[in-house]
Structure 1
């Protein structure tokens, strides 16, 4: 079924659903912007390098439903797909990832539906990232509707690797030659080493600053 057929089934429902996802995305990005400002002005340290957000296209939604064996209906879209509204937070260090995730999950108005830690448990391909699926209350004029948003948190190095993997996946339609898959996995291992070294260096710098402060006092 082409995605336009899904829209034609119930255009009013489709518009309402997409309004909810866009509203949920605004809620989450606003929270992250406030968090970003707080770190910058209060803590004089900002763990967030970049923030990107997006809504899946209708075509992409239908393709994912088909790939996972579901009929292309609005009901299945809402129940079975967690990343229609998505936010990606890019950090400098792996320690920042867990710090940000902890802060986000403490927001009293958010409900954490799923956590997938692909940093401690990478995918076979080498993919690493920290995924949260949360529900956000959207206050309408006559009701409140909880709406899902996926939040991905990763380092700059992880994001660079994931971007390349994404291009390769679509270039070969998910069936890249074995030699390319092996090289991609090797790159993932090198990036893990780089992240570990960068974190270690950052910790050494912070410790040096503490020691200098103690000497000055």
Structure 2
């Protein structure tokens, strides 16, 4: 499980209507759509915002919600990617939880969407839910360590380790903010250079 807390549920959850093989089909389809979104992003902004894409799904006999985790370089790209995905007619966002603006109780920051993807089968079209987690590489590293700590201590971390985890989350947030500011300055500089360039 990934970072379960009283205000945070960004790990795979039960979905009686969408598990099993249908979840795998939905994941395959959604990965294709994300690839199209990445291409559109490159056309608009000149670079690919995605560092890594990872997906998961349960076995055919389970009803575990399928999921995709997308790692971006900066928070601004997390939101840009979300917007490009949300405007697609073949993807419907049914739930959004923004832990970037309001961190989870453990300090986690990221964006979590639950989307419905239409899957066509011989018995008709079925809307299958997929969880999409989008976060920065910095927060991905924090979450990797946090998950190992929770697993190692069976979700009963000593208070001093919980405190240190919170401090690390704040430092990760600060680093994300600084890198994001540098990235914005670079984008502004590129935009200014393009405006000053004489017509071809």
Bin of the TM-score, shorter chain as denominator length: 0.7 to 0.9
Instruction: Please state which structure has a larger fraction of its residues in helix.
Output: 1
* Equivalence for 2:31: 29
- TM superposition shift of 1:216: 4.5
* Equivalence for 1:161: 142
Secondary structure of 1:182's aligned partner: helix
Partners of 1:204 and 1:143 lie apart in 2 by 50
* Equivalence for 1:186: 167
Structure 1 segment 92-103 matched on structure 2, within 5 A: 92-103=73-84
* Equivalence for 2:115: 134
Secondary structure of 1:175's aligned partner: coil
* Equivalence for 1:61: none
User: Is 2:70 the partner of 1:89?
Assistant: yes
Partners of 1:34 and 1:102 lie apart in 2 by 13
Give TM-score, length-normalised by structure 2: 0.83
- For residue 116 of structure 1, the aligned residue among 97, 108, 120 is 97
Q: Is there any run of 5+ residues in structure 2 with no aligned partner, and where?
A: 1-15
In 2 relative to 1, CA 37–207 (structure 1 residues): closer, same or farther, beyond 3 Å?
closer
Q: Is there any run of 5+ residues in structure 1 with no aligned partner, and where?
A: 1-13, 59-73
Per-residue CA deviation, residues 2-61 of structure 1 (Å, 9 max, x unaligned), is xxxxxxxxxxxx9x9411010011111111122223334664211111111111469xxx
User: Is 2:130 the partner of 1:149?
Assistant: yes
Secondary structure of 2:148's aligned partner: helix
Give TM-score, length-normalised by structure 1: 0.77
Partners of 2:79 and 2:103 lie apart in 1 by 15
- For residue 51 of structure 2, the aligned residue among 35, 39, 49 is 49
Partners of 1:103 and 1:42 lie apart in 2 by 11
- For residue 200 of structure 1, the aligned residue among 148, 171, 181 is 181
- TM superposition shift of 1:181: 0.7
> Does 176-185 or 37-46 show the bigger shift?
37-46
Partners of 2:78 and 2:43 lie apart in 1 by 20
Partners of 2:37 and 2:118 lie apart in 1 by 19
Partners of 2:176 and 2:102 lie apart in 1 by 15
- TM superposition shift of 1:207: 2.0
In 2 relative to 1, CA 140–216 (structure 1 residues): closer, same or farther, beyond 3 Å?
closer
